[in-house]
Structure 1
Amino acid sequence: MSVLLTPAHPASSPTTPLADALGPGLDRLIEQLAATAIRRDREGGHAAAEREFIRASGLLALTIPASLGGLGGDITEFYGVVRRLARVDSALAHVFAFHHLQLYGVSLYGGPAATAHGTRHLRETAEQRLFWGNALNPADTRLTAVRESGGWRLDGAKSFCSGALGSDRLTVSATTDDGGFLIGIVPTRREGVRVEADWDAFGQRQTDSGTVRFDHVRLDNDELLQVPGVGPTPRATLRSQIAQLIMSHLYLGIAEGAFDAARGYTATRARAWAASGVARAVDDPLIQHRYGDLWLKVRAAQAVTADAVVKLKAALDRGEALTAQERGEVAIAGAEAKVLSHRAGVEVGSQLFDLTGARSTSAEFGLDRFWRNARVHTLHDPVDYKLRDLGRFQLDGQIPEPTGYS
């Protein structure tokens, strides 16, 4: 019996669309992804069929308000789904999570695409089961926007565009001709947009995080989420905190999945070491000691990450009344979660082999995927800067400056 702490299903009636999606619907999706996860992780490429499983589940509308045709799930339920998916398939959990990150951006930013047309974008996403991808990477400044009548012309490229391949909509960021910065929405199939399948990392192989190229792509003014020259409100900057806690839940899900897979192997396949004096590997006191130590890494990450979600939810509920100090305290909680979940994902994924033995390295079991996926994804942004933020806050109370990563 698993000892992992799975978020409870909502207390609403089991006949509601939300309860069905988070109950039997999610269970079915997890079974579908788990059935081929090891093979697909080995092969890489675009998981077109599995993305259609996600689309068919209805969970692309999880965070869209029920009044707009969505399921009306809150941030806690969203992260619970990401974490459960990541236990079996962290790559598609990433694609799913980044789809919803773009939707949160539509709700948080203050440009015309959010304030005047945001409900249309969200309603269309729910009705048509649209998939959103990301071309917003703030560290890649190669995409430029030049003013033209009624809008902008986009030229250049963006890297690490998670979920872009096979998507219907893209959130994009670009530097403007006057040194500014904008964020907007572009249909993936708009003329001049080219999504390249050039993602070839040794982990997270099916996140479709390749390059998107823009060749004279039109962006209308009413498609802007962040208008150049207009600074974001503290509430709008919560998008980066939603993203950081996505990372934490992916790492935590990987750690939980790795722990469960290793424990199952030890209980059913591992052989006791000759010098242990016991017949079963699970009775070896050194094995027991090491599992206890690994579990504490997972448990600490679970507890601190749950606390960070509570703080983020409270900040979202504050709306435009959110202050910079309150936002900064959310970032501190998120940094704590990021560091501990990072450590849990990498260390459990690596150390499990000390407990499962040489035979567990067979490709048949795919146990290496947990470490590879964690190792690749934990490089999203340097965890050392999270530790710096935490230390600076403890020493002088300074909160992190809002950026695309903090």
Structure 2
Amino acid sequence: MTTEAVRNAADFDAAPTTPEGWVDRAREVATRLSVDAVARDRANQVPTYEVNLLKESGLVTLLGPVEHGGAGQDWTTALRVVRAVAAGDGSIGQLLGYHYLWAWAARLVGTPEQIAAVEQLYTENNFFFGGAVNPRDDDLVIKVEGDELVFTGRKSFSTGGRISDLTVLEGVIEGTEKHVFAIVPTQQEAIVFAGDWDNLGQRLTESGAVEINGVRVPWESAAGYVKQADGSFEFQPRVYNTLNVPLVQIIFANFYIGIAEGALKTAATYTRDTTRAWPYAGDVKESASEEFYIQETYGDLTSKLWAAEALVERAATLIEAINSHADEVTEQERGEAAVVIAAAKQVAIDVGLEIGTKVYDLTGARATSNKVGLDIAWRNIRTHSLHDPVAHKRAEVGRYALLGEIPAPTWYT
């Protein structure tokens, strides 16, 4: 199967009706993506057809309301789906995970009316989200012009970019400290993508720069802002508003684990089918699969991968508990979830990078051929795991273990 086959591989059965069915659907998508993942990574093209595959599979509206045609699934299922897709193609797993986060953005900060409108819009239209919310850059500047907010500025990273239908913007109202999130159509003259994403890994995530040149948004679309009696708009904060960072961090951990799982599976196939036993050993084996050190290493790496999976599953239960009472969630609940997610992320990075390196010990010199493509896993995890320094995640867990201290909400905790 080539990229052309991926373009045409839209012949899915009826939509699943159970969480397990949706994870199986994600594995089906991953299988289709994995066939030519190496060629597509090398080509570094805009992943238009890959996103269409996600749409046609039904995965894009996994979290969407059933009454609008969505699957109405929970975050536990969404994270498992991200993990499964990432095993076939890490870039597409990341895109899907970010889409789920931004599709949930209205629930995090919006009013009930805004939540209903956004979820109906993206679910009925099968829209895909991107986001221009890189916190390391300066905030977009927002000018108030009558009943409209005008966003202007630049972001050096905007995952989803040119293949998104909707883009999440975040900025600060000029002369204030008021942050505003807004969801806008991607295809408009005031949003200009640089198309400059050409990095070591995660090459198909459309994460390049974007210029925001006067995107106009009505006040009524400023997420979470409510019109007051005097005509002004005010935001009423709650702890749940800060869940966006724990959510995106647990998404990271899941697609790292998915990438590592895919690498280990690819390596195992290569070891069984191609790798030769070492002919100068004291106890020469007929096949590489019988070599003790190869069996031991696969056992070690698989055990570590399973441990990482257990940790992200534990984190998901905390997210579900928070979602069950979003209006009453406490700072302590949020903080404890953030700590477990920090632990899951660092373990996922460590295991993923180790697997990305040791697969070569398990496959041999010929597996370094570019056509094999085992380098993709290490490149993908190495690239994205630099999103924010993992040392700070270790320290967050350490402060909790030593001092009982939970992390204060920031753009990265």
Residues 268-291 of structure 1: CA distance to partner in whole angstroms, max 9, x if unpaired? 110111233222111111222222
> Aligned to 1:334, which of 328, 341, 359?
341
Give the match for residue 80 of structure 1: 80
Counterpart selection for 1:203 from 201, 204, 213: 201
Instruction: Report the Cα distance in structure 2 between the residues aligned to 1:28 and 1:387, rounded to whole angstroms.
Output: 35
Contact 2:92–2:204 (CA<8 Å) still a contact in 1?
yes
Higher mean displacement: 200-209 or 185-194 = 185-194
In the alignment, which residue of structure 2 is the partner of 1:154? 151
Residue 144 of structure 1 is matched in structure 2 by: 141
Alignment of 1:301-380 (within 5 A): 301-380=308-387
Distance 1:356 1:35 in 2: 19
Corresponding residue for 2:7? none
**Match in the other structure for 1:31:** 31
Cα separation, 2, equivalents of 1:44 and 1:283: 38
2:402 corresponds in structure 1 to: 395
Alignment of 1:183-332 (within 5 A): 183-227=181-225, 230=235, 232-276=237-281, 277-332=284-339
The residue type equivalent to 2:83 in the other structure is: R
Give me the whole-angstrom Cα distance separating, in 2, the residues matched to 1:341 and 1:265: 23
Query: Once the 2 structures are TM-superposed, how far is the Cα of residue 24 of structure 1 from its aligned partner?
Result: 6.2
- Using the TM superposition, give the Cα deviation of residue 104 of structure 1 relative to its aligned residue in structure 2, in angstroms: 1.1
TM-score (norm 1): 0.91
The within-5 A match list for 1:38-57 is: 38-57=38-57
Q: What is the rounded CA distance, in whole Å, between the counterparts of 2:30 and 2:295 in structure 1? A: 29
1:278-310 CA-partner distances (Å, limit 9, x unpaired): 221111112222222212221221111111111
Q: Is the 8 A contact 1:170 1:186 kept in 2?
A: yes
Give the partner amino acid of 1:259: L
1:98 aligned onto 2:85: no
Residue 285 of structure 2 aligns to a residue whose secondary structure is coil
Does the CA contact (< 8 Å) of 1:135 and 1:162 recur in 2? yes
1:62 aligns with 2:65: no
Percent identity (aligned): 34
Q: What is the CA distance between 1:94 and its match in structure 2? A: 0.9
Deviation at 1:240, TM superposition (A): 1.2
Aligned to 2:3: none
Task: Answer yes or no: is the 8 Å Cα contact 1:69–1:127 preserved in 2.
Answer: yes
Cα pair 2:311 2:344 within 8 Å, conserved? yes
Residue by residue, what CA displacement relative to the aligned partner does 1:91-146 show, whole Å, maximum 9, x if unpaired?
Answer: 01111111111111111114xxx432221211121111111111111221152111
Asked if structure 1 preserves the Cα contact closer than 8 Å seen for 2:82 and 2:255, the reply is: yes
Q: Which residue of 2 aligns with 1:178?
A: 175
Q: How many residues align?
A: 390
Give the whole-Å Cα distance in 2 for the aligned partners of 1:339 and 1:200. 26
> Matched residue of 2:183: which SS?
strand
Q: 1:316 to 1:142 in 2, by over 3 A?
A: closer
Cα distance in 2 for residues equivalent to 1:304 and 1:139:
28
Task: Decide whether aligned partners of structure 1 residues 136 and 232 sit closer, same or farther in structure 2, where only a CA change above 3 A counts.
Answer: farther
Provide the rounded CA distance (Å) in 1 between the counterparts of 2:132 and 2:23.
32
Assess if the C-alpha contact under 8 Å between 1:138 and 1:173 holds in 2.
no
Shift of the 25–287 alpha-carbon distance from structure 1 to 2, 3 Å rule, reads: closer
| Structure 2 residue matching 1:116: 3-state secondary structure | helix
- Mapped contact 2:133–2:168 kept (Cα < 8 A): yes
Deviation string 1:324-375 (CA, Å, 9 cap, x unpaired) is: 0011010011011101111111110111111111000111211110110110
Query: SS state of the match for residue 134, structure 1?
Result: strand
CA contact (8 A) 2:147 2:219 kept: yes
SS of residue paired to 2:153: strand
- Which ranges in structure 2 are unaligned for 5 or more consecutive residues? 1-13, 226-232
- Are the aligned partners of 1:83 and 1:253 in contact in 2 as well (CA < 8 Å)? yes
1:402 Cα shift?
A: 0.9
TM-score, normalising length: structure 2: 0.90
